[in-house]
Structure 1
C-alpha cells in the first residue's frame, strides 16, 4: 500500500496551550484581549489612512496593507483558539487544518514582502529625498503591494500541497495551538524530507532575497544618516526608520528560527512560545510600534472622530 498518498485521519485534535481546566478561562480572557486590541489597533490604521488625505503617502499605504495582513492572519488563528478555551472542543477537520495552514503561510509570506517594500520606501525617503515622489509614485506603490499579496501566497500553495501528500496514521493529536507546519511534519508517519526541502527552497527563493533587500536598504540608510552633520538631523532621519527596523528584526529572527531548522530538532514547548509571540503579540504591537505613537496618526484620529 502506498501510504504517501493516503491520509488516515479525518480530523485533528489541537491540544492548545494548557490542559489544565482552571487555566482555560484565564487564557480565554488574555487572548480575547489580545485579539480585540489587534483588531482595534489595525482597524484604526486602515481607517485613518483611508479617511485622512494627509496620510495618503507611500509609508501609510504600506502600513495599511500590513495592518490588513495582520488582521487576516490573526483571524485565521485566534477565533479557533478562543473556541477551544471556551468550549473545550479541540477538534478541527483535516480540511480545516489544511486551510488554516495555507492561510497562515500565505499571510506570513505577504507580510514578509510588505516589510521589504517598506524597507525600500524608507531607503528612498532617506537616501533620495529629492526624487522620493518620483521613485515611490502611486503606480509603483500599488504594484509593490499587489505583488506582495500575489507572490506571498505562491509558496504557501506549494508547501500546503506537499503537506496534503503526507500521511498521518500514527496520531492525530497536534501538540500546538493551531495547524502550524512544524507540528504537522512532526506528526506525520511518512518521510517529510521532501516538504522540508521545499521549505528551504522557498526560503532561498523568497525569504533570503527579501531579507537581502531589507539589509542592503538599511545599510544605505545607516550610511546616509551617519553623513548627516547635525545631531537633530540624524535623530529625525533615524526616527523615520527605527520602528520598521525593530519590527523587521523581531519578525525575521523568530521566523527563521521557527522554520529553517530540521523537524527532528523541533521542540513543541519552544515552538508554542515562539508562535504565540509571532502570531499574536507582533500583530498587536505593530500598530503601536509603527503609528499609534506617531503625531500624524494621532492628529488624523482626532480629525476623523471630529468629523
Structure 2
C-alpha cells in the first residue's frame, strides 16, 4: 500500500519543481501550479494565459479551462473537481496535488524545463521566487570585492587570464541567462499558437469533408430524379397524349419518393425527426392526379 505524502513533502516537491515559494496547499486552488506541472511534462500549455496572481474564482476558472484542455488533448481521463478546488480548501487540493505528483513521476522525461521562463508573461511578471534574492546577494558580494582592491594594483598582462575573468563575469552570465529566457518564452508562445491553429485547422477539415459529402449526396438525388423525369417525358413525347396510359403515375411518384427518402449505408435517422416523419401521410402524397394535371406534363421542361 502506497503511503500518501505529507503536506510538507508535497510543498517541497512543488516549490523545487516549479521554483515557487508556496507555503500552503490551499494556494494550489488557483489552478496555476497544476497547469505548469502538466506543462513541464508536455511543453504545450499556453502558460502566457495562466494567471498566477488571480484573486477570484473567476480568474481560477480560466486556469482550470486551460488545464482541462490539456487533459483532453493528452487523453488524461482523471476528473478535475473544479467546483471544489476553486474554493481553495486544504483537503480537496491535497488529494489532487497528490495525484498530480504521481502522474508527473510516471510521465515526466529527462527533458529540462525552465519554470521561470514559462511564467514570464505580462500577468505573471511580478511573481516572486527565491531566485531574485540569490542574484542580489551575488551582485553585492562582487561590489564589495571591487572596493577592497588597491587603487594602485596593476592590470594583468596575461591574455589568457583576461579571457577567463570575462567568462566568469556575473554580469555577462546574467545577460546570457536573460536573453535565453526571452528566446525560450518566444518559442513557447509560438508552439502554443501552432498547437491552437492545428486544432482549428483539423476542425475545419472535418466540417469541410462533411459539407462535401452532403453536397454529393443531394446532387445524386437530383440526378436520379432528373433521369426518371426525362425517361417519362420521352415516353410521353414518343406516344403523344395516349402515352399517359402507359405511365403508372402512382408508381412514378413512389420512385421519386424512394429517391428523396433514401439514405446512405450506415446512416441513422435521428430520433427527434421520427415524430415529424410519422405525421406525413403517404396516402395524401401518392394520391392519383387528375387528368388535367397529367396533361400539363407536356408543357413542362426539365
Q: Give your verdict on TM over 0.5.
A: no
Greater gyration radius: 2
TM-score, reference length from structure 1: 0.20
Select the structure with the greater relative contact order (CA < 8 A; seq sep ≥ 6).
Answer: 1
